[in-house]
Amino acid sequence: MDDQTALLKTQLYAACEEACSGDPDRLFTQEDLTALDVIPPKDIKKLLQLIQILTNERLFAPVHLHSGLAWRLRPEAEAAKYKQLSSHDQVLVYEIIDAAGAEGAWQQDIKRRLNVQDNALRKALKELEAKRLVAQFTTVENISKKMWIKANIKPSSRATGGPWYTDQFLDEAFIEALQSVVMSFIKNRGSYLSKGERSTRSMSPVLPKKGIINGATSEAAIKSKKRTADAISKDETPSAPAARPRKTIRLPLPAGYMEYPTTEEITAGIQAAEVAKGQPLKQEHVQELIDVLVWDNRVEEIRMGNRVGYRAVRITKQNPSLYSKPGDEDFWEPRSNGLTSVPCGKCPVFDLCEEGGPVWAGGCEYFDQWLT
């Protein structure tokens, strides 16, 4: 390798480094490399030589793409680690683990790809581990798999399961607690808390948390107006709804309400409340939580143009208090229908039941319990 080549090599590497400063995972194809203006144009031979050298020095890592070969830049510090490797096996194994990056490589996979003896592989891995180049970890997707990763990087969120996993286990308590936070946030922002006392006219209206309305549209005004209307027909209708003692209840907001919280707002709310300090929650994580609440039939999506907000379902049936302990029944009254209340709805031997059969309604013990 003459001086000129060495110089060009350094130049090329520096140019590449600069080109991929924004995106460290950028891949360079042959065209990209020529476009860097380091190699004299059309001198493919030189380019080939340089790439060969760089690859040998582990500064370039070849990547096979559908469109052909490309190279990824490897930092010099990383490349230096290859120098510590003593055996050929170690190099091969380390290459695979290195290429796998944050996802990690499965031991079986390494073995299959290298086609080496089990103990050779184990030996190589042991040596690598001793040199603190690789580390073993487990992925949440399959706890029994032996996974290897470079020692200096952390497993990807896919492997760790993101914020929902603590030590490879789904942290259900954490999820549940966060869900109730999200729930109460949505409930609070997307409904109106009506206190029972307000039904008497003299009381001042409970002010909505956002924007106080004065004058005509305030509750008091509506109320007083309404009374006059009511007074007219009072003789015939002793206004049953008003007479009924009112409880504290959450009320739906008028149609067209634009402030139903969106995912961003909920995320911001959670961050502000500092409920998940150790685990900074990103928007996509909060979205996952909301999705689950939607599937749970606790929350529904409401679209206002481009704004996708969320609000609680059956708001008047909700427990008006915002904070419920985990495990509390969140609805005021659970729904029921014929099949949920009759013992047959839950009967484990429903399909066996018939007149004259081993089980029948006349002698059914579930009915016995239910009827007494």
Partner 1 sequence: MSSMDNFPQYASPCSLAYALALESTLRLQSGTLQRIVATLLARGRSNVRDLALHTSLNPKQVRHGLALVIQHNLVFYQTDHETAATTYEANPQASYHLVRIGKILDVIDRKYGIMARNLVNDLLMLGHVEIAELVRYHRLKHGPPKVKINGEQNHNHDHDHDPDDDFDNDNDLENGDLDDSFNDDTHYVNGNGTAHGTADDAMPIQANEVYDTLAQLIAAGVVESVSVTMFQSPQDLKASVEQECMKEFPNGIRGAKVMTEFDTMVKSQIKAIGVERATMKRKLQENALYEPSNIKRRKLANGGMSNGFAGDSGGSILRDEPNMVVRLNLDKCLVELRNQKLTEHAEDFVGETTAQVFAGLLASLCKKVYRCQHDQYTIMTEEEEETYFTGVRVTSEEIFDHLSPGVDVSTGIGAASEEDIDIRFAEKIRKYPPQIQGSHIQGTLDEGDEILGSDDEDYDRSGEHLKGTHVNGHRGSIAQNGTKMGGDYSGESQSSRAEQMRHMRQHLLILTETKQQFVRHCGQNEWTVDFGPLIQQLRYVELDTMIEDNFGRQGLRLTRILREKGKLDDKTLPAMALMRKPDVHVKMAEMEMAGFLEVQEVPRDNNRAANRTMFFWFFDEARTIKRVLDNAYKSMVRCLERLEVERYNKRAILSLADRRDVQGKEEEMLRGDVYNEYLEFIEIEKKLLSQVSRLDDLVSVFQDF
Q: Please, which of residues 226-265 interact with partner 1 by CB under 8 A? A: 226, 228-230, 232-233, 235-243, 250-259
Q: Looking up tokens 């002793």, which residue turns up?
A: 238
Residue placing its CB nearer to partner 1 in the complex, 74 or 187: 187
What Å distances lie between residue 14 and 7, 54, 74, 281, CA to CA?
11, 12, 12, 37
Which residues inside 270-299 make contact with partner 1, applying CB under 8 A? 288-289, 291-292, 295-297
Query: Binding residues for partner 1, how many (CB under 8 A)?
Result: 92
- Closest contact distance (angstroms) between CB of 297 and partner 1 is 6
State how far the Cα of 198 lies from the Cα of 261, in Å rounded to an integer: 26
14 vs 302, beta carbon nearer partner 1: 302
Where in 169-228 is the site for partner 1 (CB under 8 A)? 169-170, 172, 175, 191-194, 205, 208, 210-213, 215-219, 221-226, 228
CB of residue 185 to partner 1, shortest distance in Å:
17
Residues 114-173 that bind partner 1 (CB under 8 A): 141, 164, 169-170, 172
Q: Return the DSSP state at 316.
A: G
Where does this chain touch partner 1 (CB under 8 A) — which range of 45-53, 78-86, 145-153, 348-356?
A: 348-356
Question: Looking at 274, 355, 356, 365, which residue binds partner 1 (CB under 8 A)?
Answer: 355
Task: Determine the Cα–Cα distance for residues 348 and 333; give it in Å rounded to an integer.
Answer: 26
Buried-state track 113-132, b at ≥16 Cβ within 10 A, e below 16? ebebeeeebebbbebbeeee
Angle of the 172-189 helix axis to the 263-273 helix axis, nearest 10:
110
Give the single-character DSSP code of 218.
S
Instruction: Give the x/- contact pattern for partner 1 in 307-336, rule: CB under 8 A.
Output: ------xxxxx----------------xxx
Interaction pattern, residues 31-70, with partner 1; x per rule: CB under 8 A = ----------------------------------------
User: Contact, 265 vs 336, CB < 8 A?
Assistant: no
Q: Does 356 bind partner 1 (CB under 8 A)?
A: no
Q: Both tokens of residue 38?
A: 């380091």
Smallest distance from partner 1 to CB 48, Å: 42
- CB nearer partner 1, residue 17 or residue 300: 300
Q: How far apart are CA 187 and CA 210, in angstroms?
A: 14
Q: How many CA atoms lie within 13 A of 293 on its CB side?
A: 29
Query: To 5 degrees, how large is the angle CA 289–CA 292–CA 293?
Result: 90
Residue 41 or 363 with smaller CB distance to partner 1: 363
Q: How far is the CB of 4 from partner 1 (least distance, A)?
A: 55
Q: Minimum distance between the CB of residue 309 and partner 1, rounded to whole angstroms?
A: 11
Following CA atoms 98, 50, 53, 48 in sequence, which dihedral angle do they give, to the nearest 10 degrees?
Answer: 80
> CA-CA distance, 331 to 312, in Å (whole number)?
11
Kindly state whether residue 268 participates in binding partner 1, applying the rule CB under 8 A.
no
Q: Smallest distance, Å, CB 254 to partner 1?
A: 5
CB of 360 to partner 1, least distance (A): 7
* Of 112 and 132, CB closest to partner 1: 112
Q: Does 353 bind partner 1 (CB under 8 A)?
A: yes
Kindly tell me the sign of the dihedral angle through the C-alpha atoms of 122, 124, 126, 132: negative
Q: What are the residue ranges of helices labelled H in 134-218?
A: 157-160, 172-189
Q: How far is the CB of 205 from partner 1 (least distance, A)?
A: 7
**Residue-by-residue DSSP string for 258-301:** --S--HHHHHHHHHHHTSSSSSPPPHHHHHHHHHHHHHTTSEEE
Closer residue to partner 1 (CB): 67 or 336: 336
